[in-house]
Amino acid sequence: MYNMLFQSHSGLWEITILLFIISFILLKMGKPKGKKITQMILRLFYVIMIISGLGMLITLNFPWLYVIKGILALWLIWMMELILSKSVVRKESGSSTKSYWTQFIIALVLVVLIAAKIISF
Ligand code: HEM
């Protein structure tokens, strides 16, 4: 069971980030229809990542470092959602997504460092 969750989680996280980048590029290229489709798939991937992550947390009996990793991953997902929605608004209102990008990078780096066991206590 754990293996199945781990395999799907570790196989899909790169595709999740890639789908986010593709959605952002499509948005900036002025292709809202294409972006809508990739964003829909991206949201499905969020769900799979959260369910497989939660499943692993339950199997591992909630080790606190991975609980933090899960919370950081939720923050990462939230930033991806904000960037994709605020970037649409930006065209009209001119508000900046710079701070969301900064948070996206910080959350991504922390999640990967904890997941790769480079950060451990
Ligand atoms: C888009 C969001 C996420 C990303 C990018 C991500 C990334 C990763 C990566 C790179 C790994 C290591 C896989 C490997 O070693 O091959 C991992 C493992 C793991 N993730 Fe996530 N994750 C995300 C969401 C979540 C969520 C929401 C939770 C918890 C609710 C979670 C809990 C875990 C756990 C428990 C592990 C197993 C660590 C281990 O046994 O080595 N992840 N994640």
74 lines ligand 1 (CB under 6 A): yes
Tens digit of pLDDT at every position of the chain (121 positions) = 889 999 999 999 999 999 999 999 999 999 999 999 999 999 999 999 999 999 999 999 999 999 999 999 999 999 999 999 988 755 555 567 899 999 999 999 999 999 998 877 6
| Number of domains observed in the structure of the chain | 1
Cα 71 to middle of ligand 1, angstroms: 10
48 lines ligand 1 (CB under 6 A): no
The pLDDT assigned to 95 comes to 67
Q: Indicate whether 22 belongs to any domain.
A: yes
10 lines ligand 1 (CB under 6 A): yes
The pLDDT assigned to 93 comes to 58
Q: Tell me the C-alpha distance between 110 and 121, whole Å.
A: 14
The pLDDT assigned to 118 comes to 87
By C-alpha distance, which of 97, 83, 96 is closest to 17? 83
- Boundaries of domain holding 100: 2-115
Cα 61 to middle of ligand 1, angstroms: 15
Looking at 29-117, list the stretches that DSSP marks H as alpha helix, in order from N- to C-terminal side: 32-59, 64-93, 98-115
